[in-house]
Amino acid sequence: MGGVQYSKIAEIKGPLVIVDDVENAAFDELVEVETNEGERRLGKVLEVGNGKAIVQVFEGTTGLSVSGTSARFVGKVMEMPVSKEVLGRVFDGLGRPKDGLPDPIADKFLDINGAPMNPEQREYPKDFIQTGVSVIDGMITLVRGQKLPIFSGSGMSHNILAAQIARQATVVGTEEEFAVVFAAIGVQYSEAEYFRRTLEESGALKRSVLFLNLADDPAIERIITPRVALTVAEYMAFELGMHVLVILTDMTNYAEALREISAAREEVPGRKGYPGYLYTDLSTIYERAGKLNGKTGSVTQVPILSMPSDDITHPIPDLTGYITEGQIVLGRDLFRQGVYPPVNILMSLSRLMKDGIGEGRTRQDHSEISNQNYDAYSRAQEVRALAGIVGKAGLADVDLKYMDVGDSFEKGFLTQALDENRNLDETLSLLWKVVSNLPRAELTKVKDKYVDQYYQGSDE
Amino acid sequence: MASDTLERTINKILDQTQERISSELDGALAESGKTLDGARAGLEAEYDKIISDGRKEADKIQKQIVGSSDLEARNRQLLLVEEAVDRAFGEALGRISDMDRDDSYAELVESLMREATDTLGSTEVVVYTSEKDRDVVGSVLNGFSGSQLADDTIECLGGVRIVSTDGTMTFDNTLDARISRLKPLIRKQIAAKFGVVN
């Protein structure tokens, strides 16, 4: 049984408190650290042995002293109270109410680390989620149960895109309930306020749960934020049968917090100082997305990470890419041109898209028109590069048409207003409009019957 | 003769001019018909777009109004339930505090002592309790060799707080601490009585 309070503190090192003469402490056990003034902070056991316990204090160790601090080992791991009542609520990074309302009346208390999904019980994701953002729905389609990260860069519009997805996302053609769990990890106050306000004003807060860890909140709290968010998501998905979209922004801040703890524990650093277990740790978060046989609900994840120096080979995007099922990459060039959302489709991919689109799911021509646009835009980029060398005058007529396709793709299809929620038909129509700038003979990726039905250009 | 020729020429010119004007008028009519047809299609598309945008906007506003009013109602309900839960708690704590310190209470204190010493793994402890419970606690300490009652008292509803003799380990088994540990579960039960949760 837990509940014993120890007052023999051997050392306080960074975010860690080392407690002496500890008996019966358990790995990952929740700890209440109490200061001289009676202030309580939460932590968890990272290591036990030789009568010592290393406790990671979520709310930081600032102001703690060796002599006046005590640690109460609670006897259980950290739990999140869950119930349907959490919908519409705003919590801090540790799952405590931040909206001035009381603690939710819990239906259950769940271990924030979740239970690993039995691989045998996993159901292959293949149902479309409409985000209302054309480039995602049309070309990097998100399916229920998928984990599809957004790779962004510092200062780019990933948070605006995330908020737009949170506001607009829905499952079409079903009465099953849909919810959004939004975890902001280490974001600025203005960003957190933007997320809260935008969901409130759009009426989407009612079906959302917000976890806000601010930039000036203790970094260590960031380790917990995605876990409490996913615990709520799993409950709503697998106990209440809802389709839950989890948006985690910014996972780079999460990895930074992990590095801070690792450095304090004097672990051997891996690439760029991140711990060697970064991959394993990230997988414990990303692998909580999915769908289970026999259960109605699903957990879909859109983690957002800002790549330091826009470097896609940085350990965080690199390791994330190994675990997730594709990526949406935001492009600095498009962002500078004022394109929103600045998605670089040539570097983006949804690995599960092919199973979530087409007849019976979205529309029969979806896959082909998407491929045709991908091909045309890729060719447009080549032609633009060529035009940079030989000039427009040196280009063939068909090349000029591909240049038009590039412009039309970016201005007509990619560009979208912040509050513009396009349905799938609108998105696919725009894709057809883009390739209708080309002569019919250039549409080699699409069946003739679809060209006959949707092509709007001339045959020359 | 000459006037006939002139008249024929004039008529011919008039006919030709009439024909040309008629043909131009027909052309203009066809052209304007075509323009109108084209404009109609554009106008209809524009009309459809305005209607569709209007519907979307109306839908958005409806969602916003319904969403925020639902949330407001729910939040008020949460606050009311919490207020009721707090009242129920306050009432219960008052009754616990005024409980008779009889034999059954002594048994309760003994079981609290046993649980606390088992948790610390020693009976050689200093025991803290409230002023009200000093006598009851003192009477059960005989069963715990090495234990001693502290001179100081603590503020609590009842129960004991034990500290190891070297002062490094504490176990709080006061009724306050136990209630605080179980409060989330008790809240659920009270809320269920109000029909808020199952």
Q: Which residue in B64, B158, B43, B187 sits closest to A198, CA to CA?
A: B64
| Cβ–Cβ below 8 Å for B196 and A105 | yes
**Cα–Cα distance measured from residue B10 to residue B72, given in angstroms and rounded to the nearest whole number:** 88
Task: State chain A's mean pLDDT as an integer.
Answer: 91
Nearest-by-CA chain B residue for A5: B170
CA of A6: how far to CAs of A9, A30, A408, B47, in Å? 8, 14, 67, 74
Q: Which residue in A322, A423, A438, A441 sits closest to A380, CA to CA?
A: A438
A198: exposed, middle or buried (Cβ count in 10 Å: 0-12, 13-18, 19+): buried
Residues counted in chain A: 460
For residue B197, pLDDT over 80 is answered with no
Please answer whether residues A58 and A14 qualify as being in contact, where contact means their C-beta atoms are separated by less than 8 angstroms: no
Q: Which of A105, A197, A206 to mutate to test the interface with B (most CBs of B within 10 A)?
A: A105
Query: What is the set of domains in chain B, with CATH numbers?
Result: 99-193 (3.30.2320.30)
The alpha-carbon gap from A84 to the nearest alpha carbon of chain B, in Å, equals 10
What local confidence, expressed as pLDDT, does residue B84 receive?
Answer: 85
Find the angle CA(A215)-CA(A216)-CA(A218) to the nearest 5 degrees. 100
What mean pLDDT do residues A71-99 have? 91
| Cβ–Cβ below 8 Å for A5 and B169 | yes
For residue B198, pLDDT over 80 is answered with no
Interface of A with B in 88-127 (CB under 8 A): 88, 101-103, 105-107, 109
Q: If phi over 0 gives left and psi between -120 and 50 gives alpha, with beta otherwise, what is residue A80?
A: beta
Residue A425, chain B, CB below 8 Å: the answer is no
Query: What is the set of domains in chain A, with CATH numbers?
Result: 4-76 (2.40.30.20), 80-356 (3.40.50.12240), 366-454 (no CATH)
Range from A3-7, A201-205, A320-324 that averages highest in pLDDT: A320-324
Residue B121, chain A, CB below 8 Å: the answer is yes
Residue A410, chain B, CB below 8 Å: the answer is no
H helices of A345-416, in order, are 353-356, 366-390, 397-408
Residue B112, chain A, CB below 8 Å: the answer is no
Q: What is the pLDDT of residues B40-93, one digit of tens each?
A: 888 888 898 899 888 888 888 888 888 888 888 888 888 888 888 888 888 888
Q: What is the ipTM of this complex?
A: 0.70
A14: exposed, middle or buried (Cβ count in 10 Å: 0-12, 13-18, 19+): middle
Q: What is the pLDDT of residues B156-172, one digit of tens each?
A: 888 999 999 988 899 99
Tokens at residue A389, please?
A: 């060398």
Q: What is the pLDDT of residues A4-28, one digit of tens each?
A: 899 899 999 888 999 998 888 889 8
Residue A21, chain B, CB below 8 Å: the answer is yes
Please answer whether residues A223 and A195 qualify as being in contact, where contact means their C-beta atoms are separated by less than 8 angstroms: no
Q: Confidence band (pLDDT; 50, 70, 90) for A460? A: low
